[in-house]
A = this chain, B = another copy of it.
Amino acid sequence: MAIGLHTDFALLPPGGLPHPLSKRAITALGGLRRRDCTGSDMLGWLCLPDQPESLLDEIEAEARRISALCDLVVVVGVGGSSLGAQAALDFVASPYYNQLTKTRPQVLFSGDHIDGDTLCDLLTLSAERRLGICLVSKSGTTVEPSLTFRALEHHLFTRYGPDAARRILCICGDGPLSDYTRHKGYTRFAIPEDVGGRYSTLSPAGLVPMALCGLDIRGALKGAKAARQAYLDPEGALTLPARYAALRQLLADQGRPVEVMAMFSPALGAFGNWLQQLFAESEGKNGGGILPLPAAYTADLHALGQFVQQGNPIVFETMLTLSRARYDCRVAPGGGFDGLNALVGQPLDDLCRLAVEAVARAHSEAGVPVLHISAPGRDAEVFGWLVMFFQMSCAVGALMAGINPFDQPGVEDYKAHMRRLFGGLI
């Protein structure tokens, strides 16, 4: 298995990537390989493919236990503690997982807002279901998930008494939440201390929700391991994630600070949100960074498309596509008002491929640089591979820009203001 990175569209200057950019990318990748780059104390994500079998067994056993007990699990988390699992669910299962599932609980993601009305609606619908909670919070002190967790936990204990404890899973780092779970007798899985939130998808933060939905967590780790081997091991080579990082930097240097990340399937929509968080929070520092704008194609061609084609030329485009369909779905017969009768019986997969080509042609003819990353298909192994690919590429890009890819000092500013303002309430 491998993913492809194409730059078909007159993107590169004659002679290919400029030598200094390639060299910086290779140097940054070397820093990851030797574990001596900036932020090297937070490289635990590179080891996640090696998590012990015993841990995976335990995760799967807990997931089976909760599945038998609950028909709805609310996964409570925000940012990196939520987006990876959402991406996995849509990618590996389906955007319609909740409508289709028979043997596993439905899953709703919440805990990422401060909105009482939305929380009340969640409590109302939860009251009608055999409910479970899966709290994902590295620090255990983030305001948004805490507010939702409190409400749901209170609801569960009011309803089930002490038995409620069996319905609660916590995934967290060391600290007060970890102590609390021990005290209450909740099942707890650890997020390793050297893994940051947005690099934690392949830790229990993502694996536990994935297992709840019956997804193949071993496959995901296998894919990530293969990607690490393919991209990190070859010393001194400009492997794909480094090449992608260098291309992005080249385009930003050419005056295009915004990357439209075009996902060519609804199953990739949540993956786009995960990518946005990964890149924005890793790179957006010191007045720099490329602004990631996820888009759902072809839907957003009827929205953003006009801007990309003819608007302010500040964007370049990276398309993510899947080259293998899961089902054989063909154009259905119909009345022909739409002018598509000649296509009846054609695989939608083929039409999608042509749409990708049409977009690439139209946009590159308008001078918009188009990158194209294609992944084989939608299984857990490909998902793990892509997660590792993008995490490595993101880290390389930040390191090339002289930035620590693993901190987020700017997020602290609003949190500090909020704590101060909350203090005034008391």
Interface set of A (CB-CB < 8 Å, partner B): 78-80, 83, 94-96, 99-100, 108, 112-122, 124-125, 140-144, 146-147, 149-151, 153-154, 175-177, 179-180, 183-184, 197, 257-258, 264-267, 273, 276-277, 280-281, 283-291, 293, 296-315, 325-335, 337-340, 342-343, 346-352, 354-355, 357-359, 361-363, 365-366, 378, 408-411, 413-418, 420-422, 424-426
> Can you report 20 A-B residue pairs in the complex whose CB atoms are below 8 A from each other?
A78-B299, A78-B302, A79-B303, A95-B118, A96-B118, A113-B266, A114-B352, A115-B266, A116-B330, A116-B348, A120-B329, A141-B338, A143-B338, A150-B340, A280-B304, A281-B302, A305-B414, A310-B409, A346-B425, A354-B421
Instruction: Tell whether A413 pairs with B311 under 8 Å between CB atoms, given A177-B337, A302-B277.
Output: no
Asked whether B311 lies within 8 Å of A115 as measured between CB atoms, the reply is no
Which B residues touch A378, using CB under 8 A?
117
For A287, give its contact among B144, B293, B297, B311 (CB under 8 Å). B311
Which B residues touch A354, using CB under 8 A?
418, 421-422, 424-425
Asked whether A301 lies within 8 Å of B265 as measured between CB atoms, the reply is no
Instruction: Tell whether A358 pairs with B421 under 8 Å between CB atoms, given A177-B337, A291-B314, A332-B154.
Output: yes
Instruction: Tell whether A413 pairs with B365 under 8 Å between CB atoms, given A115-B267, A291-B312, A342-B426.
Output: yes
CA separation between A302 and B421, bound complex, in Å?
19
Which B residues touch A357, using CB under 8 A?
417, 421
**Least Cβ–Cβ distance between A39 and chain B, in angstroms:** 14
Asked whether A312 lies within 8 Å of B413 as measured between CB atoms, the reply is no
